[in-house]
Chains A and B, each alone.
Chain A
């Protein structure tokens, strides 16, 4: 369980993280979503005690990270893939991790095997690809078998196999009732892995809800309509008060605010033949854009933190 309470980080005039409060619960994959520069990494660094909060605090199972005696046994984290010395081999990097937390050295080869780096473990990190470094970082996160895991942009630099592997890993870790927080700026990635979403923009919490709720909350599922005579259908749809119609480039109409049944009725009324009637579920990407657009509306022009949330 991670608890973030009124966490704030300022760098001079810039507010990187602005009064952020949330909880991350065990047994779920919680996605930490926001555009680059939204404050995801800064928040994670404060949770891990790397950066000092200007105000507020972050607790892991009720304790501040910086008081932990054996942090790797409680919290595993992948922060940046370059948080290692390129002159050290992968195996030695993990050996230092094990030594620092009183973890048996035998765990080093176990996690190397688990992340698929056993064959290159003796090579110095400078020869590793970005994906291999990510895997090494994940190995260090797993070495202490922790109940809480934080991954900052874990799929960066991974190939297709690697991405699939991280997805499964993250889901498996949550299924073992661990607390899992995964950050990403890729909404499609979160849509596939996260049960719960924390959406932040400009350092502030925009949404804290289940992935389904965020998707549904983006409102309107839209319906794609292709008709023999779109102009007549448009006139008919205009009589439905809640309908919003958008013309797509290929001549189809994207209708939101009404059900496919209502559109069908309207078409029959206007005597228009329908060639297509497809329900389009909105993507997390659209939901996200909508949420952050709202956020920008609330922010005052001077960049002062808005009062509306």
Chain B
């Protein structure tokens, strides 16, 4: 064998770029991706439209505000795309082909996380913009609206979906199970936040303030309830922990 075939004369970036195109192909060739997005869009537009109809007062409201409310339930449908992109591989056995085609697992980890998360983040921003416009179309005649700051508004939505996506990808890579990941996501994003937050016990409430679901609600709908530093710590901490566990699982454990 020649020295040319030894080692990799191809840059890590080239291998990564191929892994990204493969992950993207994986994503768009599954119907479940598009059904989840359809559900997300339907939910967002419905909630947004309803918020528009409900807005009758003379107090001028930014037209993007309904989307910020709609993303709180709507995020779960977007996150489902990320979840299924990861766990579907384990439930079907497709992971064996994936690892055979991209055996450098560190590269696969980055591509597998980045592609679906970036995709749903972009989709969420686009659907949110549409939601704002739909809400505007439905506002009562007497209602006043202002354009508001579209960049900040959609930026916040993009941020929460990206954060939720990274968290979901990490948990899904760790647990490898659709039902298990769904359960943990609902606990961290919704159930525990409400249950602990309303417990009346101060230290339980303190815990709930540090759950990912609380940070998300604060970012889009309840600004100022937590300090920016707390929110940043919660987001970085949770996504780093989830992705570390998921990365360990993908790189160190056997394929199935």
B103 engages A96 (CB within 8 Å)? no
Whether, in the assembled complex, B142 has its beta carbon less than 8 Å from a beta carbon of chain A, the answer is no
Contacts of B14 in A (CB 8 A): 69, 102
Contacts of A69 in B (CB 8 A): 8, 10, 14-15, 104
Q: From A76, which residue of chain B is reached at the shortest CB distance? A: B100
A-B contact count (CB 8 A): 106
Knowing A65-B103, A100-B102, the reply to whether A86 touches B92 (Cβ < 8 A) is yes
Q: From B31, which residue of chain A is reached at the shortest CB distance? A: A87
Whether, in the assembled complex, B105 has its beta carbon less than 8 Å from a beta carbon of chain A, the answer is yes
Q: From B100, which residue of chain A is reached at the shortest CB distance? A: A48
The DSSP consensus for interface residues of chain A is loop
A96 engages B25 (CB within 8 Å)? yes
A71 vs B30: C-alpha distance when bound (angstroms): 24
Whether, in the assembled complex, A221 has its beta carbon less than 8 Å from a beta carbon of chain B, the answer is no
The DSSP consensus for interface residues of chain B is helix
Tell me, rounded to whole Å, the shortest Cβ–Cβ distance linking A279 to chain B.
46
B92 engages A85 (CB within 8 Å)? yes
A100 engages B29 (CB within 8 Å)? no
Tell me, rounded to whole Å, the shortest Cβ–Cβ distance linking B124 to chain A.
23
- CB contacts under 8 Å to B, within A73-109, are 77, 79-80, 82-89, 92-93, 95-97, 99-102
Whether, in the assembled complex, B89 has its beta carbon less than 8 Å from a beta carbon of chain A, the answer is yes
A96 engages B22 (CB within 8 Å)? yes
Whether, in the assembled complex, A309 has its beta carbon less than 8 Å from a beta carbon of chain B, the answer is no
A263 vs B133: C-alpha distance when bound (angstroms): 99
- CB contacts under 8 Å to B, within A44-62, are 45, 48-52, 61-62
Whether, in the assembled complex, A140 has its beta carbon less than 8 Å from a beta carbon of chain B, the answer is yes
Knowing A61-B1, A77-B100, A96-B22, the reply to whether A85 touches B30 (Cβ < 8 A) is yes
Contacts of B26 in A (CB 8 A): 85, 88, 96
A100 engages B22 (CB within 8 Å)? yes
Whether, in the assembled complex, A192 has its beta carbon less than 8 Å from a beta carbon of chain B, the answer is no
A82 engages B92 (CB within 8 Å)? yes
B103 engages A66 (CB within 8 Å)? yes
Whether, in the assembled complex, B97 has its beta carbon less than 8 Å from a beta carbon of chain A, the answer is yes
B1, B29, B32, B102 — most chain A CB neighbours (10 Å)? B29
Whether, in the assembled complex, A70 has its beta carbon less than 8 Å from a beta carbon of chain B, the answer is yes
Q: From B5, which residue of chain A is reached at the shortest CB distance? A: A61
Tell me, rounded to whole Å, the shortest Cβ–Cβ distance linking B107 to chain A.
9
Whether, in the assembled complex, B228 has its beta carbon less than 8 Å from a beta carbon of chain A, the answer is no
Whether, in the assembled complex, B201 has its beta carbon less than 8 Å from a beta carbon of chain A, the answer is no
Whether, in the assembled complex, B99 has its beta carbon less than 8 Å from a beta carbon of chain A, the answer is yes
B254 engages A50 (CB within 8 Å)? yes
A67 vs B18: C-alpha distance when bound (angstroms): 15
Whether, in the assembled complex, A164 has its beta carbon less than 8 Å from a beta carbon of chain B, the answer is no
Tell me, rounded to whole Å, the shortest Cβ–Cβ distance linking A123 to chain B.
13
Q: From B107, which residue of chain A is reached at the shortest CB distance? A: A69
A97 engages B97 (CB within 8 Å)? yes
A51 vs B6: C-alpha distance when bound (angstroms): 23
Whether, in the assembled complex, B255 has its beta carbon less than 8 Å from a beta carbon of chain A, the answer is yes
Whether, in the assembled complex, A10 has its beta carbon less than 8 Å from a beta carbon of chain B, the answer is no
Whether, in the assembled complex, A228 has its beta carbon less than 8 Å from a beta carbon of chain B, the answer is no
Please report B residues at the A interface, Cβ cutoff 8 Å.
1, 5-8, 10, 14-15, 18-19, 21-22, 25-26, 29-32, 88-89, 92-97, 99-105, 252, 254-256
